Protein backbone atom coordinates (compact mmCIF):
# COMPACT_ATOMS: atom_id res chain seq x y z
CA UNK A 1 0.00 0.00 0.00
CA UNK A 2 1.15 3.51 -0.74
CA UNK A 3 1.07 6.40 1.70
CA UNK A 4 1.21 10.07 0.79
CA UNK A 5 2.19 13.01 2.95
CA UNK A 6 2.73 16.67 2.08
CA UNK A 7 5.63 18.58 3.59
CA UNK A 8 5.36 22.20 4.71
CA UNK A 9 7.02 23.42 1.52
CA UNK A 10 4.45 21.63 -0.64
CA UNK A 11 6.49 18.60 -1.68
CA UNK A 12 4.41 15.42 -1.83
CA UNK A 13 6.21 12.44 -0.29
CA UNK A 14 4.98 8.99 -1.27
CA UNK A 15 6.21 5.82 0.37
CA UNK A 16 5.82 2.39 -1.17
CA UNK A 17 7.14 -0.32 1.18
CA UNK A 18 7.94 -3.64 -0.50
CA UNK A 19 8.43 -7.06 1.06
CA UNK A 20 11.29 -9.28 -0.03
CA UNK A 21 13.68 -6.61 -1.27
CA UNK A 22 16.81 -5.12 0.24
CA UNK A 23 16.95 -2.18 -2.18
CA UNK A 24 15.39 1.25 -2.02
CA UNK A 25 14.73 3.71 -4.83
CA UNK A 26 14.39 7.45 -4.37
CA UNK A 27 12.68 9.12 -7.31
CA UNK A 28 12.28 12.89 -7.50
CA UNK A 29 9.71 13.98 -10.09
CA UNK A 30 8.94 17.52 -11.25
CA UNK A 31 5.71 18.22 -13.11
CA UNK A 32 7.31 19.85 -16.12
CA UNK A 33 8.91 18.89 -19.40
CA UNK A 34 9.08 20.00 -23.00
CA UNK A 35 5.31 20.60 -23.03
CA UNK A 36 5.91 23.70 -20.89
CA UNK A 37 8.45 25.18 -23.29
CA UNK A 38 8.04 27.81 -25.98
CA UNK A 39 9.43 27.54 -29.49
CA UNK A 40 12.27 29.80 -28.37
CA UNK A 41 13.31 27.74 -25.33
CA UNK A 42 12.41 24.28 -26.64
CA UNK A 43 14.98 21.86 -25.24
CA UNK A 44 15.66 23.67 -21.98
CA UNK A 45 13.96 21.03 -19.77
CA UNK A 46 16.32 18.37 -21.09
CA UNK A 47 19.39 20.63 -20.99
CA UNK A 48 18.58 21.57 -17.39
CA UNK A 49 18.35 17.88 -16.48
CA UNK A 50 21.93 17.48 -17.75
CA UNK A 51 23.11 20.47 -15.72
CA UNK A 52 21.82 18.97 -12.46
CA UNK A 53 24.60 16.42 -12.73
CA UNK A 54 27.42 18.90 -13.37
CA UNK A 55 28.23 20.15 -9.91
CA UNK A 56 27.09 21.72 -6.63
CA UNK A 57 28.95 23.68 -3.98
CA UNK A 58 29.35 20.50 -1.90
CA UNK A 59 30.17 18.31 -4.91
CA UNK A 60 31.79 20.62 -7.51
CA UNK A 61 32.15 18.12 -10.39
CA UNK A 62 30.27 15.30 -12.07
CA UNK A 63 32.85 12.90 -10.67
CA UNK A 64 32.20 14.15 -7.13
CA UNK A 65 28.50 13.42 -7.60
CA UNK A 66 28.89 10.03 -9.25
CA UNK A 67 31.46 8.60 -6.87
CA UNK A 68 29.11 9.18 -3.90
CA UNK A 69 26.68 6.65 -5.36
CA UNK A 70 29.29 4.48 -7.05
CA UNK A 71 30.99 3.77 -3.73
CA UNK A 72 27.82 2.09 -2.42
CA UNK A 73 27.09 0.27 -5.70
CA UNK A 74 24.10 2.46 -6.51
CA UNK A 75 22.34 2.87 -9.84
CA UNK A 76 21.26 6.38 -10.78
CA UNK A 77 20.15 8.50 -13.70
CA UNK A 78 17.79 11.24 -14.84
CA UNK A 79 15.25 11.63 -17.64
CA UNK A 80 13.12 14.25 -19.35
CA UNK A 81 9.68 13.69 -20.83
CA UNK A 82 6.97 15.84 -22.34
CA UNK A 83 5.22 16.42 -18.98
CA UNK A 84 7.65 15.24 -16.30
CA UNK A 85 11.34 15.34 -15.44
CA UNK A 86 12.87 12.86 -13.04
CA UNK A 87 16.00 12.15 -11.00
CA UNK A 88 16.52 8.82 -9.28
CA UNK A 89 18.92 6.65 -7.33
CA UNK A 90 18.58 2.99 -6.35
CA UNK A 91 20.74 1.69 -3.50
CA UNK A 92 21.06 -0.94 -0.81
CA UNK A 93 18.40 -0.02 1.77
CA UNK A 94 21.02 0.76 4.40
CA UNK A 95 22.37 3.56 2.19
CA UNK A 96 19.07 5.45 1.84
CA UNK A 97 20.61 8.57 3.36
CA UNK A 98 23.30 8.61 0.69
CA UNK A 99 20.67 8.62 -2.07
CA UNK A 100 18.64 11.34 -0.35
CA UNK A 101 21.71 13.47 0.31
CA UNK A 102 22.97 13.35 -3.28
CA UNK A 103 19.58 13.85 -4.94
CA UNK A 104 18.59 16.73 -2.69
CA UNK A 105 21.99 18.37 -3.20
CA UNK A 106 21.76 18.37 -7.00
CA UNK A 107 18.09 19.37 -6.86
CA UNK A 108 18.66 22.37 -4.59
CA UNK A 109 22.29 23.40 -5.00
CA UNK A 110 23.29 22.86 -8.63
CA UNK A 111 25.50 25.73 -9.79
CA UNK A 112 24.69 25.90 -13.53
CA UNK A 113 28.21 27.13 -14.23
CA UNK A 114 28.46 29.13 -17.51
CA UNK A 115 31.60 27.20 -18.43
CA UNK A 116 29.92 23.85 -17.93
CA UNK A 117 26.84 25.01 -19.82
CA UNK A 118 29.06 25.92 -22.76
CA UNK A 119 30.82 22.54 -22.64
CA UNK A 120 27.54 20.59 -22.35
CA UNK A 121 26.16 22.19 -25.50
CA UNK A 122 28.45 19.99 -27.57
CA UNK A 123 27.27 16.85 -25.78
CA UNK A 124 23.60 17.65 -26.35
CA UNK A 125 24.09 18.60 -29.99
CA UNK A 126 25.70 15.20 -30.56
CA UNK A 127 22.74 13.59 -28.78
CA UNK A 128 20.46 15.39 -31.24
CA UNK A 129 22.61 14.18 -34.14
CA UNK A 130 22.39 10.62 -32.83
CA UNK A 131 18.59 10.74 -32.91
CA UNK A 132 18.43 12.35 -36.34
CA UNK A 133 20.71 9.64 -37.73
CA UNK A 134 18.58 6.83 -36.26
CA UNK A 135 15.15 6.68 -38.00
CA UNK A 136 13.91 3.97 -35.63
CA UNK A 137 14.35 6.37 -32.70
CA UNK A 138 13.35 9.57 -34.48
CA UNK A 139 10.14 8.43 -36.20
CA UNK A 140 8.01 8.61 -32.99
CA UNK A 141 9.03 12.27 -32.63
CA UNK A 142 8.05 12.90 -36.24
CA UNK A 143 4.68 11.28 -35.59
CA UNK A 144 3.99 13.56 -32.62
CA UNK A 145 5.06 16.60 -34.67
CA UNK A 146 2.43 15.57 -37.21
CA UNK A 147 -0.25 15.10 -34.56
CA UNK A 148 0.28 18.32 -32.65
CA UNK A 149 1.82 20.64 -35.26
CA UNK A 150 2.90 23.87 -33.54
CA UNK A 151 1.74 22.86 -30.07
CA UNK A 152 4.50 22.53 -27.50
CA UNK A 153 3.74 18.86 -26.86
CA UNK A 154 4.60 18.12 -30.47
CA UNK A 155 8.13 19.52 -30.26
CA UNK A 156 11.21 17.37 -29.67
CA UNK A 157 12.29 16.89 -26.05
CA UNK A 158 15.90 17.45 -27.09
CA UNK A 159 15.04 20.79 -28.68
CA UNK A 160 16.82 22.32 -31.66
CA UNK A 161 20.53 22.79 -32.24
CA UNK A 162 20.02 26.53 -32.58
CA UNK A 163 18.28 26.77 -29.21
CA UNK A 164 20.89 24.63 -27.50
CA UNK A 165 23.70 26.78 -28.88
CA UNK A 166 22.04 29.99 -27.65
CA UNK A 167 20.95 29.08 -24.11
CA UNK A 168 22.43 31.28 -21.36
CA UNK A 169 22.67 30.69 -17.61
CA UNK A 170 19.78 33.11 -16.97
CA UNK A 171 17.52 30.91 -19.12
CA UNK A 172 18.14 27.95 -16.82
CA UNK A 173 17.64 30.02 -13.68
CA UNK A 174 14.33 31.42 -14.95
CA UNK A 175 12.99 28.01 -15.94
CA UNK A 176 14.17 26.46 -12.68
CA UNK A 177 12.46 29.14 -10.60
CA UNK A 178 9.24 28.85 -12.60
CA UNK A 179 8.78 25.09 -12.34
CA UNK A 180 11.11 23.56 -9.73
CA UNK A 181 8.95 24.43 -6.75
CA UNK A 182 7.71 22.45 -3.77
CA UNK A 183 4.15 22.29 -5.01
CA UNK A 184 5.34 20.88 -8.34
CA UNK A 185 7.60 18.19 -6.86
CA UNK A 186 6.96 14.58 -5.83
CA UNK A 187 9.48 12.47 -3.92
CA UNK A 188 8.83 8.73 -4.00
CA UNK A 189 10.69 6.29 -1.78
CA UNK A 190 10.03 2.66 -2.68
CA UNK A 191 11.42 -0.66 -1.49
CA UNK A 192 13.02 -1.48 1.84
CA UNK A 193 11.53 1.43 3.78
CA UNK A 194 9.57 2.17 6.94
CA UNK A 195 6.95 4.89 6.58
CA UNK A 196 7.53 6.62 9.90
CA UNK A 197 11.18 7.36 9.18
CA UNK A 198 10.83 8.51 5.60
CA UNK A 199 8.85 11.72 6.08
CA UNK A 200 11.38 13.03 8.59
CA UNK A 201 14.29 12.14 6.36
CA UNK A 202 12.82 13.68 3.20
CA UNK A 203 11.83 16.81 5.14
CA UNK A 204 15.40 17.10 6.45
CA UNK A 205 17.03 16.82 3.03
CA UNK A 206 14.49 18.73 0.92
CA UNK A 207 13.39 21.44 3.35
CA UNK A 208 15.24 24.15 1.38
CA UNK A 209 12.98 23.69 -1.66
CA UNK A 210 10.82 26.80 -1.75
CA UNK A 211 7.06 26.60 -1.51
CA UNK A 212 5.38 28.35 -4.41
CA UNK A 213 3.01 27.55 -7.21
CA UNK A 214 4.69 26.66 -10.49
CA UNK A 215 4.03 28.60 -13.65
CA UNK A 216 0.85 27.51 -15.39
CA UNK A 217 1.18 24.33 -17.42
CA UNK A 218 0.60 24.46 -21.15
CA UNK A 219 -2.56 22.85 -22.50
CA UNK A 220 -2.75 20.51 -25.47
CA UNK A 221 -5.66 19.75 -27.76
CA UNK A 222 -6.72 17.60 -30.70
CA UNK A 223 -7.72 19.21 -33.98
CA UNK A 224 -8.06 17.24 -37.20
CA UNK A 225 -10.67 16.78 -39.91
CA UNK A 226 -8.89 14.64 -42.53
CA UNK A 227 -6.03 12.11 -42.78
CA UNK A 228 -2.59 13.67 -42.27
CA UNK A 229 0.83 12.71 -43.61
CA UNK A 230 4.37 13.80 -42.73
CA UNK A 231 7.16 12.59 -44.99
CA UNK A 232 10.87 13.04 -44.26
CA UNK A 233 13.24 12.13 -47.06
CA UNK A 234 16.26 10.09 -46.06
CA UNK A 235 18.31 7.87 -48.32
CA UNK A 236 17.93 4.54 -46.58
CA UNK A 237 17.31 0.90 -47.51
CA UNK A 238 14.76 0.48 -44.75
CA UNK A 239 11.77 2.78 -44.36
CA UNK A 240 10.29 3.58 -40.95
CA UNK A 241 6.66 4.37 -40.33
CA UNK A 242 4.33 5.36 -37.56
CA UNK A 243 0.69 4.92 -38.53
CA UNK A 244 -1.85 5.75 -35.88
CA UNK A 245 -4.92 7.57 -34.67
CA UNK A 246 -5.86 10.07 -31.98
CA UNK A 247 -6.95 8.48 -28.72
CA UNK A 248 -7.53 9.49 -25.09
CA UNK A 249 -5.84 11.36 -22.27
CA UNK A 250 -4.56 9.88 -19.00
CA UNK A 251 -7.82 10.55 -17.14
CA UNK A 252 -10.16 9.15 -19.78
CA UNK A 253 -12.26 6.13 -18.83
CA UNK A 254 -11.44 4.36 -22.11
CA UNK A 255 -7.65 4.43 -21.77
CA UNK A 256 -7.72 0.84 -20.49
CA UNK A 257 -9.73 -0.21 -23.52
CA UNK A 258 -7.11 1.48 -25.70
CA UNK A 259 -4.37 -0.48 -23.92
CA UNK A 260 -6.12 -3.75 -24.70
CA UNK A 261 -6.65 -2.75 -28.33
CA UNK A 262 -2.97 -1.91 -28.74
CA UNK A 263 -1.92 -5.32 -27.39
CA UNK A 264 -4.34 -7.15 -29.68
CA UNK A 265 -3.01 -5.21 -32.67
CA UNK A 266 0.72 -5.28 -32.03
CA UNK A 267 1.67 -5.61 -28.39
CA UNK A 268 3.51 -8.93 -28.67
CA UNK A 269 4.68 -11.60 -31.12
CA UNK A 270 1.27 -13.32 -31.24
CA UNK A 271 -0.61 -10.09 -31.97
CA UNK A 272 -2.49 -9.55 -35.21
CA UNK A 273 0.03 -7.28 -36.92
CA UNK A 274 3.00 -9.39 -35.86
CA UNK A 275 1.37 -12.47 -37.37
CA UNK A 276 0.36 -10.72 -40.60
CA UNK A 277 3.49 -8.65 -41.27
CA UNK A 278 6.28 -10.70 -39.70
CA UNK A 279 5.15 -14.33 -39.68
CA UNK A 280 3.01 -14.51 -42.82
CA UNK A 281 4.71 -11.92 -45.03
CA UNK A 282 8.26 -11.73 -43.70
CA UNK A 283 8.14 -7.98 -44.34
CA UNK A 284 9.72 -6.65 -41.16
CA UNK A 285 11.91 -7.54 -38.21
CA UNK A 286 9.63 -5.71 -35.80
CA UNK A 287 6.24 -4.10 -35.62
CA UNK A 288 4.87 -2.69 -32.41
CA UNK A 289 1.60 -1.03 -31.46
CA UNK A 290 1.29 1.06 -28.33
CA UNK A 291 -0.91 3.72 -26.78
CA UNK A 292 0.20 7.03 -25.25
CA UNK A 293 -1.87 8.92 -22.70
CA UNK A 294 -0.77 12.47 -21.94
CA UNK A 295 -2.64 14.71 -19.50
CA UNK A 296 -4.73 16.37 -22.23
CA UNK A 297 -4.40 14.16 -25.32
CA UNK A 298 -3.42 10.66 -26.42
CA UNK A 299 -3.04 8.29 -29.35
CA UNK A 300 -2.60 4.71 -30.57
CA UNK A 301 0.16 4.03 -33.09
CA UNK A 302 1.78 1.17 -35.02
CA UNK A 303 5.54 1.51 -35.51
CA UNK A 304 7.67 -0.56 -37.88
CA UNK A 305 10.78 -0.61 -40.02
CA UNK A 306 10.71 -2.53 -43.30
CA UNK A 307 12.03 -2.68 -46.84
CA UNK A 308 10.96 0.50 -48.61
CA UNK A 309 9.72 -1.50 -51.61
CA UNK A 310 7.04 -3.12 -49.45
CA UNK A 311 5.96 -0.04 -47.53
CA UNK A 312 2.64 0.50 -49.30
CA UNK A 313 1.71 -3.15 -48.77
CA UNK A 314 2.44 -2.82 -45.06
CA UNK A 315 0.34 0.35 -44.73
CA UNK A 316 -2.59 -1.41 -46.35
CA UNK A 317 -2.29 -4.37 -43.96
CA UNK A 318 -2.22 -2.08 -40.91
CA UNK A 319 -5.27 -0.18 -42.14
CA UNK A 320 -7.05 -3.45 -42.85
CA UNK A 321 -6.44 -4.65 -39.29
CA UNK A 322 -7.64 -1.34 -37.88
CA UNK A 323 -10.83 -1.63 -39.93
CA UNK A 324 -11.47 -5.23 -38.84
CA UNK A 325 -11.75 -4.08 -35.26
CA UNK A 326 -14.58 -1.72 -36.26
CA UNK A 327 -16.53 -4.54 -37.94
CA UNK A 328 -16.13 -7.66 -35.82
CA UNK A 329 -16.04 -8.15 -32.07
CA UNK A 330 -12.87 -9.53 -30.52
CA UNK A 331 -13.38 -13.10 -29.30
CA UNK A 332 -13.34 -14.06 -25.64
CA UNK A 333 -10.07 -15.99 -25.88
CA UNK A 334 -8.17 -13.20 -27.64
CA UNK A 335 -9.53 -10.63 -25.19
CA UNK A 336 -8.43 -12.75 -22.21
CA UNK A 337 -4.95 -13.24 -23.71
CA UNK A 338 -4.49 -9.49 -24.10
CA UNK A 339 -5.58 -8.76 -20.53
CA UNK A 340 -3.39 -11.51 -19.11
CA UNK A 341 -0.44 -10.23 -21.12
CA UNK A 342 -0.80 -6.73 -19.67
CA UNK A 343 -1.17 -8.09 -16.14
CA UNK A 344 1.78 -10.44 -16.46
CA UNK A 345 4.12 -7.77 -17.86
CA UNK A 346 3.03 -5.34 -15.17
CA UNK A 347 3.67 -7.78 -12.32
CA UNK A 348 7.08 -8.75 -13.66
CA UNK A 349 8.08 -5.09 -13.89
CA UNK A 350 6.84 -4.27 -10.41
CA UNK A 351 9.18 -6.74 -8.76
CA UNK A 352 11.84 -4.00 -8.62
CA UNK A 353 11.80 -0.91 -6.40
CA UNK A 354 12.64 1.50 -9.23
CA UNK A 355 9.63 0.30 -11.24
CA UNK A 356 7.34 0.66 -8.22
CA UNK A 357 8.62 4.20 -7.63
CA UNK A 358 7.91 5.07 -11.26
CA UNK A 359 4.48 3.41 -11.18
CA UNK A 360 3.44 5.44 -8.15
CA UNK A 361 5.12 8.75 -8.97
CA UNK A 362 3.90 9.09 -12.52
CA UNK A 363 0.31 8.52 -11.46
CA UNK A 364 0.64 11.32 -8.92
CA UNK A 365 2.08 13.70 -11.51
CA UNK A 366 -0.44 12.74 -14.20
CA UNK A 367 -3.72 12.65 -12.29
CA UNK A 368 -3.04 13.32 -8.61
CA UNK A 369 -4.60 9.96 -7.80
CA UNK A 370 -2.68 6.74 -7.18
CA UNK A 371 -4.32 3.42 -7.98
CA UNK A 372 -2.87 0.16 -6.70
CA UNK A 373 -2.01 -2.47 -9.27
CA UNK A 374 -5.07 -4.43 -8.14
CA UNK A 375 -7.30 -1.42 -8.80
CA UNK A 376 -5.79 -1.01 -12.24
CA UNK A 377 -6.32 -4.69 -12.96
CA UNK A 378 -9.98 -4.34 -11.94
CA UNK A 379 -10.44 -1.57 -14.51
CA UNK A 380 -8.65 -3.71 -17.08
CA UNK A 381 -10.87 -6.72 -16.35
CA UNK A 382 -13.94 -4.53 -16.78
CA UNK A 383 -13.11 -3.97 -20.46
CA UNK A 384 -15.53 -5.93 -22.68
CA UNK A 385 -15.65 -6.90 -26.33
CA UNK A 386 -18.41 -4.31 -26.74
CA UNK A 387 -16.07 -1.65 -25.32
CA UNK A 388 -13.38 -2.62 -27.84
CA UNK A 389 -15.84 -2.37 -30.72
CA UNK A 390 -17.17 0.99 -29.51
CA UNK A 391 -13.71 2.49 -29.06
CA UNK A 392 -12.46 1.08 -32.37
CA UNK A 393 -15.38 2.74 -34.15
CA UNK A 394 -14.55 6.00 -32.40
CA UNK A 395 -10.83 6.15 -33.18
CA UNK A 396 -10.37 4.22 -36.43
CA UNK A 397 -11.90 6.83 -38.70
CA UNK A 398 -10.37 8.82 -41.55
CA UNK A 399 -10.35 12.17 -39.78
CA UNK A 400 -8.18 10.79 -36.95
CA UNK A 401 -5.65 8.96 -39.12
CA UNK A 402 -1.98 10.02 -39.19
CA UNK A 403 1.04 8.62 -41.03
CA UNK A 404 4.68 9.64 -40.48
CA UNK A 405 7.38 8.24 -42.77
CA UNK A 406 11.16 8.36 -42.96
CA UNK A 407 12.73 6.89 -46.09
CA UNK A 408 13.78 7.45 -49.71
CA UNK A 409 10.47 9.03 -50.75
CA UNK A 410 9.58 12.44 -52.14
CA UNK A 411 6.12 11.82 -53.59
CA UNK A 412 3.49 12.33 -50.89
CA UNK A 413 0.66 11.60 -53.31
CA UNK A 414 1.31 7.86 -53.49
CA UNK A 415 0.76 7.55 -49.74
CA UNK A 416 -2.09 10.02 -49.47
CA UNK A 417 -4.07 7.87 -51.89
CA UNK A 418 -3.99 4.84 -49.63
CA UNK A 419 -4.83 6.67 -46.39
CA UNK A 420 -8.45 5.65 -46.57
CA UNK A 421 -10.45 3.21 -44.48
What lies within 8 Å, CB to CB, of 76 at 6+ separation is 66, 69, 88, 89, 90, 99, 102
Q: Looking at 49, 68, 321, 334, which residue is catalytic?
A: 49
**How far apart, in Å, do the first and last CA atoms of the chain sit?**
46
Would you call 276 a catalytic residue per the annotation?
no
DSSP per-residue letters across 324-363: HHHHSPPPHHHHHHHHHHHHHHHHHHTTSHHHHHHHHHHH
Burial per residue of 365-396, b for 16 or more beta-carbon CB atoms within 10 angstroms, e otherwise? bbeeebeeeeebbeebeebeeebbbebbebbb
The alpha-carbon radius of gyration of the chain (Å, integer) is 23
- Could you give the CA distance from residue 92 to residue 26 in angstroms, rounded to a whole number? 11
DSSP SS3 for 385: helix
Are the beta carbons of 136 and 299 closer than 8 angstroms?
Answer: no
Helix axes 44-51 and 169-179, enclosed angle (nearest 10): 100
Neighbours of 143 (CB within 10 A): 24
Q: Which residue numbers are catalytic?
A: 49
Amino acid sequence: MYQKHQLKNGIKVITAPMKGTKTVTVLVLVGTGSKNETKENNGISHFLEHMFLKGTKKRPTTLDISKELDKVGGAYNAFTGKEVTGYWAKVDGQHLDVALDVLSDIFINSQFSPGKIKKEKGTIIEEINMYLDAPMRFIPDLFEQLLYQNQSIGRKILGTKNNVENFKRKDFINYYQNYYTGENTVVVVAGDVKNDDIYKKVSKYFRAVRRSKPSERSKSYDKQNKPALKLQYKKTVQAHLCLGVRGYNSSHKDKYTLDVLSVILGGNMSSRLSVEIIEKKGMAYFIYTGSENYQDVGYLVAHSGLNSNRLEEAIKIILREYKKLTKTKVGDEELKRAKDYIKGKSLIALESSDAVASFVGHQEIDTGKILTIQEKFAKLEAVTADDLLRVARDIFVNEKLNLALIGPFKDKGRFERILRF
